[in-house]
Structure 1
Amino acid sequence: EEYHKAWKSGGTCVESLRMQTRDNLERMVVIKAFIAVRVLGLRQGGISEETQNDSCEKILTPTEWKLLWVKLEGKPLPSQAPTLKWACLKLAKLGRWHDSKRTGCPGWVVMWDGWFRLQDMVEGYLVMKSLDQEI
């Protein structure tokens, strides 16, 4: 059930896709399913007591978690990747979620908002990195 929430709500909006051909629709559904699995893994991994202390590199690339760290922590990078719980909460914070006693765990909309903002940061970093090599 949580997978379908991740897949249908927030970022993928898979039910609202309008494509010219069935093949194009199938391709988009599959691509968005893979993205939904990553966001689901982050959210579920971050709130599950069994996995919340695992490394966030199970889901995020080193570039992704390092950019998230620099943006939200304002401290030097740690020697090891932070936990899944850290990544889940920080991604939600990037999506404008505010942790308080009454909010509970982050919802799908803030997770997707945080995911898209993180991907924009990664894209900007990669563009700047490629420019740096050319100059």
Structure 2
Amino acid sequence: CVESLRMQTRDNLERMVVIKAFIAVRVLGLRQGGISEETQNDSCEKILTPTEWKLLWVKLEGKPLPSQAPTLKWACLKLAKLGRWHDSKRTGCPGWVVMWDGWFRLQDMVEGYLVMKSLDQEI
């Protein structure tokens, strides 16, 4: 993954490893929190920002926002669905690739939301 970016210098490679590691830790927290019986009922705001989970809700639920943040299990499954996971094997446990893809799709949604929100302000 990092090797495919073909960083030309050691400093660039180190910076990219730090960025990728930060993202990997957040995805790890979401996936493990969503499948662990001890933490699956905790609030998804432990991992996602309010903007992130609200955009995920609006995109995948199509219902009005709840008064409280959904659970980590909900966030894990919905992020996986955003990464094109369909639970075809009926394991209920999404893989790392779909979690990673879902995470990046969510970040694209957040970026688009913030750009649209900035249009309301004078530039």
TM-score band, normalised by shorter chain: over 0.9
Give CA deviations for 1:47-77 in whole Å, capped at 9, x if unaligned: 0001000110010000000000000011111
Question: Any idea what SS the aligned residue of 2:120 has?
Answer: helix
**TM-score normalised by the chain length of structure 2:** 0.94
Question: Any idea what SS the aligned residue of 2:112 has?
Answer: helix
What is the total number of aligned residue pairs between the two structures?
123
CA distance in 2 between partners of 1:101 and 1:57 (Å): 29
- Residue 101 of structure 1: CA displacement? 5.7
- Residue 14 of structure 1: CA displacement? 2.3
Q: Which moved more, 1:18-27 or 1:63-72?
A: 18-27
Identity of aligned residues (%): 100
Give CA deviations for 1:77-107 in whole Å, capped at 9, x if unaligned: 1111100000000000111111356344101
CA distance in 1 between partners of 2:90 and 2:48 (Å): 28
In structure 2, stretches of 5+ residues that fail to align are: none
Per the alignment, do residues 101 and 32 of structure 1 end up closer, same or farther by CA in structure 2, a change over 3 Å counting?
A: closer
Question: Any idea what SS the aligned residue of 2:121 has?
Answer: helix
CA distance in 1 between partners of 2:82 and 2:20 (Å): 21
Per the alignment, do residues 49 and 26 of structure 1 end up closer, same or farther by CA in structure 2, a change over 3 Å counting?
A: same
- Residue 113 of structure 1: CA displacement? 1.2
CA distance in 1 between partners of 2:66 and 2:84 (Å): 24
Question: Any idea what SS the aligned residue of 2:119 has?
Answer: helix
Q: Which moved more, 1:77-86 or 1:14-23?
A: 14-23
CA distance in 1 between partners of 2:6 and 2:89 (Å): 40
